[in-house]
A = this chain, B = another copy of it.
Amino acid sequence: MSMNREDESPAPGHGPGAAFLLAQLGAHTAQLFAQRIAELDLTPAQAGLLRLLAGTPGRSQRELADVLGMPPSRFVPFADELEERGLIERRRNPSDRRLYALHLTDKGLSLFAELRKAGAAHEQQVCQALSAEERQQLIGLLSRVAEQQQLTPGVHPGYRSPRTDRPTRTR
């Protein structure tokens, strides 16, 4: 199914409910982030993989595809592009030659550093309206909701497919 645009309805009160605001702001936030990292020639999905590898290197493709929520058949070309760009590396696992161990290259690591800067700027852009304490307050509330909803920290279920623009093999 394709999840798209409009969402929930207002709460019993008059204004929009928290659920709607969350969906609305979530989409907006993701969109801003996508635009920002487009300057680094990265899609949110690609950024996610870099971040995963920066945190836990050496994971298998199957594992990563699982976390990212994409079928292995789609993960392959997805990783291919990043490998061609010299950002990640496929290393054979000596103990089990079936699986690859994915790692960031030096180039990938330095791009990840850029990514963190972009993330910090993004955070600030989104939270402009709030003071430092209010931002912490918001983070606290959101964290509790996220925990109660059993969301894995650092991973989120997908929005819609980004512009995974393939090198467009026109011949």
Question: Could you tell me which A residues sit within 8 Å of B by CB distance?
Answer: 1-12, 15-31, 33-35, 38, 41-45, 47-49, 51-52, 67-70, 115-116, 118-120, 122-123, 126-130, 134-135, 137-139, 141-149, 151, 153-171
Q: Which residue of chain B lies nearest to A40 when distances are taken between CB atoms in the complex?
A: B167
Q: How far is the CB of A88 from chain B (nearest CB, A)?
A: 14
Find chain B residues with CB under 8 A from A137 CB: 137, 141
- Find out whether the CB atom of B43 lies under 8 angstroms from the CB atom of A1: yes
Given known A-B contacts A11-B120, A19-B122, A30 and B38 have beta carbons under 8 A apart = no
Given known A-B contacts A45-B5, A141-B134, A165-B166, A23 and B18 have beta carbons under 8 A apart = no
| Number of chain copies forming the complex | 2
- Find out whether the CB atom of A161 lies under 8 angstroms from the CB atom of B31: yes
- Find out whether the CB atom of B159 lies under 8 angstroms from the CB atom of A16: no
Find chain B residues with CB under 8 A from A10 CB: 119, 154
- Find out whether the CB atom of A149 lies under 8 angstroms from the CB atom of B43: no
Given known A-B contacts A15-B143, A123-B19, A158 and B156 have beta carbons under 8 A apart = no
Q: How long is the Cα–Cα vector from A161 to B155 in the complex, in angstroms? A: 20
Q: Which residue of chain B lies nearest to A52 when distances are taken between CB atoms in the complex?
A: B6
Most buried by B among A17, A24, A139, A163: A24
- Find out whether the CB atom of B2 lies under 8 angstroms from the CB atom of A1: yes
Q: How long is the Cα–Cα vector from A135 to B13 in the complex, in angstroms? A: 12
